[in-house]
Homo-oligomer: A and B are copies of this chain.
């Protein structure tokens, strides 16, 4: 039972139930066969962007943000898992990542010291990878596969 599967369960439980406290959520989780501590829950909820608010009647309950905003905060697991898609354009490779993680992934690429990569520029959720002159797209792809094993299969489906 890892963090990301736990977070999926948390999101599900919070949306399908009226959850008023982390203790209560803890019990729901146990009922679903997933065990952890309240402290972990507190941390996961922050990552998920799920916070305690009030419903119309003024009763307290945990509320999720829109899915997009939640995605904006979550980045479970390894750096390469932050990569969402890649696209060649104008001889450059655009790499989209989970929001906020472009710098981390770009740093990883830079540190690999691969010849094929002249350099990278990272924004918030986008990396622009500039290949050296006369390096093929295939060569760059192979290079990235070396840095992030399993990446190509995951991205291409």
Contacts and interface: CB of A to CB of B under 8 A. Distances in A.
Interface size class of A (residues with CB under 8 A): 35 or more
Given A69-B65, A90-B92, A130-B89, A123 B121 contact: yes
Contacts of A100: 56-57
Total identical chains:
2
Given A54-B49, A56-B100, A128 B119 contact: yes
A27 to B, nearest CB: 22
Given A53-B49, A53-B53, A130 B69 contact: no
Nearest to A103: B124
Given A89-B132, A122-B121, A130-B90, A54 B73 contact: yes
Interface of A: 46-47, 49, 51-54, 56-58, 60, 63, 65-66, 68-69, 71-73, 87-92, 94, 96, 99-100, 103, 106-107, 110, 118-128, 130-133
